[in-house]
Amino acid sequence: MLSTKRRIKKASFEKIMKDGLFLYSENYNLRLLDRKDSFPTLFAFVVSIKVKKTSVGRHLIRRRLTSVVEKQLNNFKTGFSCLIFVKKDVSSLSYEKIQKEINELFEKAKILKEESI
């Protein structure tokens, strides 16, 4: 689980949605806001009830996404806020497929440090 220092607060969601850069892949949408500061990159994961009806299923998807991000935490540039929205049920996808797609989104957004790519 991401530490609270690395999580986006609900109060910031509206600003990120309004001013953030929008990127997408087959299963995910990414809203990215450059805060222009030196604090660590923050993350939030949104899994709608339309994606998975049960809360257990939604939490499973969030835990998998959190795990992917935690493995890359040291490789992110500072000063960004990232909202990751799940578009469709990815609970049946393998961990490697989820990891590959999320990392491709981060590379497209150019928020990974150069030496980590």
CATH number of the domain that residue 110 is part of: 3.30.230.10
- Structural domain including 92 reads 4-116
State the pLDDT confidence band at 34, using cuts at 50, 70 and 90.
very high
> Which pTM does this prediction carry?
0.89
What is the pLDDT averaged over residues 15-40?
Answer: 94
- 37-65 pLDDT tens trace: 999 999 999 999 999 999 999 999 999 99
Nearest alpha carbon to residue 32 among 8, 15, 44, 16: 16
State the total domains in the chain.
1
The helix/strand/coil state of 5 is helix
- Split at pLDDT 50, 70, 90, the class of 113 is confident
- Per DSSP bridges, beta strands 21-24 and 28-34 are antiparallel
Nearest to 72 by CA among 109, 36, 46: 109
